[in-house]
Amino acid sequence: MLHLFDGVRALGFGTVALKTLIACLCGAVIGLERSTKNRPAGFRTHILVCLGAAVASLTALYIYLELRLPADISRIGGNVITGLGFIGAGTIIITKRMSIKGLTTAAGLWTTGIIGLAIGSGYIELGLIGTVLVLLSETLMARVSSAIQSSPEYALELLYIEKTSLDHVLRFCKDNRMSITNLKIQTIEDPEAKYAAEIRLRGAMKQDALLNKVQHMPGIVASMAL
């Protein structure tokens, strides 16, 4: 550890104030990046999470070192980490297109809280390093992640006569390495078709090519892109 921070590791009033200030600054830096991207958990949320975790860590040290009470100081930190999981879960949403958003913000909140625990315990170096790495993950690594090409997801609606008709479509998708992400089937009152299915899938085959194949399968009355 750096000897530069040796004077901050004690539990005096000045060192406690400095630790909480550093925790606020680290939370603010991480939260500022989230706020610029209009995320629900932004500037103030990250400050409060990091500050709260630091206060919890300082309280655990105070109980053990100053009050000399027989307490397990690791339990407070463990409970903080568990509680952060519930806070992070509130930032995760599932859109109408069945895509998940908010995972990065949730993970950032969780990590920010742990950074606060490290700073509160006196491990300032680790807290600062963690802050820098979180920022790099949310900025530079975001560009790397967006550059990675993923298979497109799209949806099809099928009208068909027999249940086996849908089986042929699903088998074709499986043979062509296409994954089904969601499937909805309902009975309809139509003079030409008995069933309607909405299929959401992901794969390398283009949507137009798949539609062309599906339209010529036995029992398929109509197929369209959604």
Convert the pLDDT of each residue in 52-108 to its tens digit: 999 999 998 888 888 888 777 788 888 888 888 888 777 777 666 555 677 888 888
Proportion of the chain above pLDDT 70, given as a percent: 90
- Do residues 104 and 13 both lie within one domain? yes
pTM of the model: 0.62
- Boundary of a domain, candidates 130, 147, 164: 147
Q: Where among 147, 175, 206 does a domain terminate?
A: 147
Give residue 200's domain range.
153-225
Q: What is the pLDDT of residues 23-64, one digit of tens each?
A: 999 999 988 888 887 776 778 888 999 999 999 999 988 888
Q: How many domains does the chain have?
A: 2
* Distance (Å) of CA 155 to CA 103, 126, 198, 202, 223: 24, 46, 7, 9, 11
**Residue 156, C-beta contacts closer than 8 angstroms, at least 6 positions apart:** 198, 199, 201, 207, 210, 211, 214, 223, 224, 225, 226
Separation between Cα atoms, residue 150 and residue 168, nearest integer Å: 26
CATH of the domain at 162: 3.30.70.260
Assess whether 47 and 127 both reside in one domain.
yes
pLDDT of 110 higher than 80: yes
Q: In this structure, are 71 and 86 located in the same domain? A: yes
Q: Are residues 86 and 186 in the same domain?
A: no
